[in-house]
């Protein structure tokens, strides 16, 4: 799996403590973009077709008194297993970099199945786990929650499917809603009031649609055109192209290749995309987008990329390879557990602690859990430029009320 979503190499010590995910209100720098894309491969489904490998044996890492379950599809086939191994490495890296953490990771392989996740959670709970990190697949989250909720044990899962969040089940992932809220708020702040949009006719597009219409409404803007597309982009592109004269901004929310194809379809339908402010999500963090002439100057929300660059450098030095983009989620989860175990006493993993409105600082920037289990992230606004992107608005240093 390609490492998707999105400062300097951190020395050990106090600077690292902030990057390590702790604590409430600490400034947060993000790494974003590819993450939604890479996690979207796993959020609703199963590993790529093909037999899974032999299940990995449970392992305990660390010698602390506070036990944390970590459930990942380590033996799943294809990209899912590769992603899981990278996330496991990142989790162990967080443990190594946090000074004298009082936690022990109980690592369980769920094989990419709900049954495996349930078995792993049962083992971790019976061994004294106070909280569960994972699983990765949305389909496996309810199987774990069924065991944890009666005990009052919280789960921090890595799925991007908001429908599996809920009481006691929090998602530490990159949710499309955060991207949409950030880019619409920024656009309204620079005077954009009338919006058009083209999104894919799939689960991701449905989430974007709801978030987009709500965000525009909050800013007293108006949606002058909204179209979904499947295999045929030409027809919805013509509809949107005809309405662009009334719009200040156009959102195209999809992955890199599809964004380029959609922009080409709009151009073919007669739209002059240079005359309108193009908007996107973190999935725009893609070389295909940066190379597209018509997408130059487009704006998208994503974590500040410097956080991931620093993390990736340390990961390479430790493991001799590249981390998947989702590896920071496991790193931040473990670092947060270590920080809460050190500072919050008996209430360390209580819902009131996890949903502190000030949020937490991590590799990927500021984040906080909502009481409904979803999360909010502090994202930067990036501008598409040839060969890359440049920040036009930085990540917030704190959350508003």
Nearest to 214 by CA among 239, 180, 247, 237: 180
Q: In whole numbers, what is the pLDDT of the chain averaged over residues? A: 87
Adjacent-strand bridge partners of 229:
200
- pTM of the full predicted structure? 0.84
In this prediction, what percent of the chain has a pLDDT beyond 70?
86
Residue 45 pLDDT > 60: no
Roughly what angle, to the nearest 10 degrees, separates helices 256-268 and 234-243? 60
Given this model, what pLDDT does residue 400 score? 76
**Greater model confidence, 82 or 38:** 82
Q: What is the 3-state secondary structure (H, E, C) of 51-73?
A: CCCCCCCCEEECCCCEEEEEEEC
Q: How far apart, in whole angstroms, are the C-alpha atoms of residue 365 and residue 363?
A: 6
The CA-CA-CA angle for residues 60, 151, 44, to 5°, reads 70
| Residue 154 predicted with pLDDT over 60 | yes
Cα 236 to Cα 26, 227, 266, distances in angstroms: 44, 6, 9
pLDDT of residue 53: 67
> Is 26's pLDDT higher than 70?
no
Q: Which of 30-44, 104-118, 243-257, 386-400 has the weakest average pLDDT?
A: 30-44
Residue 149 has pLDDT above 90, yes or no: yes
Banded model confidence at residue 309, pLDDT cuts 50, 70, 90: very high
Is the pLDDT reported for residue 143 higher than 70? yes
- Residue with the bigger pLDDT between 374 and 397: it is 374
Structure tokens at 210: 């709801």
Q: In this model, does residue 19 exceed pLDDT 50?
A: no
What is the pLDDT at residue 397? 87
Res. 14: pLDDT tops 80: no
Q: How far apart are the first and last CA of the chain?
A: 37
Supply the pLDDT for residue 13. 31
Cis peptide bond N-terminal to 65, omega within 30: no
pLDDT value of residue 387: 82
Q: Say which residue, 287 or 56, is predicted with more confidence.
A: 287
* Mean pLDDT value of segment 252-272: 96
Give the tens place of pLDDT for each residue, 323-355.
Answer: 999 999 999 999 999 999 999 999 999 999 999
Rounded to 5 degrees, φ, ψ at 30 are -110, 165
């Amino acid at each position: 799996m390609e490492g998707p979503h999105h400062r300097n190499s951190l020395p050990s010590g106090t600077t690292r403590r902030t990057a390590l995910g702790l604590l409430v209100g600490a400034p947060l720098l993000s790494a974003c973009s590819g993450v939604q894309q890479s996690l979207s491969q796993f959020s609703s489904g199963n590993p790529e077709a093909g037999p899974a490998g032999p299940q990995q044996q449970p392992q305990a890492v660390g010698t602390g008194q506070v036990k944390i379950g970590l459930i990942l599809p380590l033996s799943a086939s294809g990209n899912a297993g590769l992603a899981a191994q990278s996330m496991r490495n990142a989790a162990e890296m967080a443990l190594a970099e946090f000074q004298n953490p009082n936690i022990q990771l109980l690592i369980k392989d769920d094989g990419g199945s709900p049954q495996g996740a349930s078995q792993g959670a049962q083992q971790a709970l019976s061994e004294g786990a106070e909280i569960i990190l994972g699983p990765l697949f949305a389909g496996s989250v309810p199987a774990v929650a069924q065991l944890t909720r009666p005990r009052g044990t919280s789960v921090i899962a890595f799925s991007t499917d908001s429908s599996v969040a809920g009481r006691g089940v929090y998602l530490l992932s990159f949710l499309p809603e955060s991207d949409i809220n950030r880019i619409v708020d920024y656009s309204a702040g620079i005077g954009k009031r009338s919006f058009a949009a083209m999104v894919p006719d799939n689960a991701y597009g449905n989430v974007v649609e709801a978030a987009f219409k709500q965000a525009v409404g909050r800013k007293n803007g108006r949606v002058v055109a909204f179209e979904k597309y499947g295999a045929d982009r030409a027809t919805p592109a013509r509809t949107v192209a005809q309405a662009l004269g009334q719009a200040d901004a156009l959102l195209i929310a999809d992955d890199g290749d599809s964004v380029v194809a959609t922009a080409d379809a709009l151009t073919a339908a007669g739209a002059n995309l240079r005359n309108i402010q193009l908007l996107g999500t973190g999935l725009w963090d893609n070389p295909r987008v940066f190379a597209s002439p018509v997408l130059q100057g487009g704006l998208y929300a994503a974590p500040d990329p410097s956080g991931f660059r620093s993390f990736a450098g340390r990961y390479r030095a430790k493991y001799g390879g590249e981390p998947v983009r989702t590896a920071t989620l496991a790193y931040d989860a473990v670092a947060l557990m270590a920080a809460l175990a050190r500072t919050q006493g008996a209430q360390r993993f209580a819902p009131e602690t996890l949903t502190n409105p000030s949020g937490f600082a991590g590799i990927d920037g500021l984040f906080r859990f909502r009481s409904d289990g979803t999360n909010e992230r502090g994202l930067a606004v990036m501008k598409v430029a040839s060969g890359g992107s440049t920040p036009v608005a930085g990540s917030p240093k704190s959350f508003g009320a």
